[in-house]
Amino acid sequence: MVLLKNKLPRCEDCLPNKKRIELYFSDYIKNYLRAHMVLRTVPNQSNSAINDIELVVTRGYFDIHEEGASTVPTIPYGEYRLIKQ
- Taking only the tens of pLDDT, the chain with its 85 residues reads 677 666 766 777 777 777 888 888 888 888 888 888 889 888 888 888 899 999 988 887 777 778 888 888 888 889 999 998 7
Which pLDDT score is estimated for 80?
A: 92
What is the pTM for the complete model shown?
Answer: 0.71
**Distance (Å, whole) CA 2 – CA 73:** 25
**Distance (Å, whole) CA 76 – CA 33:** 12
Torsion angle defined by CA atoms of residues 9, 23, 44 and 6, in that order, rounded to the nearest 10 degrees: -30
